[in-house]
Amino acid sequence: MSELSKENVALANKIAKRIKALRQEDTGMKQMDFVRKYNVEKQTISRWESQIKIDDNTGKRSGRGITIYSVSEFCNIIGITLTDFFDDDLFK
């Protein structure tokens, strides 16, 4: 598998940030509130919100990012469209 470019890592991290912001708007600061409201595994929401990190010394990447299918699943859960999700200043 090829490594993600810096631009793709930045995009993946923006997506994670947007998910966290929407989740907090919907259910508050705690992931567990979202888990309880929507019956989603805590590990799932945690993974969706995880940022990809790159070690400054080694360049090694940690984290996977999120697929468009998972973004779509999140949108369906909270009742928005993918257009709504990406229609944010974060992506402009």
Residue 26 DSSP class: H
What percent of the chain is predicted at pLDDT more than 70? 98
pLDDT at 86: 98
Query: Rounded to two decimals, what is the model's pTM?
Result: 0.90
The mean per-residue pLDDT over the stretch 15-22 comes to 98
Per-residue model confidence as pLDDT tens digits over 27-63 = 999 999 999 999 999 999 999 999 998 888 887 888 8
In a domain, 1, yes or no: no
**Is residue 3's pLDDT more than 50?**
yes
**Is residue 67's pLDDT more than 60?**
yes
In a domain, 92, yes or no: no
Domain hosting 15: range is 6-84
Question: Cα 7 from chain centroid?
Answer: 16
In a domain, 64, yes or no: yes
Q: Which amino acid is at 42?
A: K
Domain count, the chain: 1
Q: Which of 67, 85, 87, 82 is nearest to 22 (CA)?
A: 85
What percent of the chain is predicted at pLDDT more than 90? 79
We report the CATH number of the domain holding residue 29 as: 1.10.260
In a domain, 45, yes or no: yes
In a domain, 37, yes or no: yes
**Is residue 70's pLDDT more than 50?**
yes
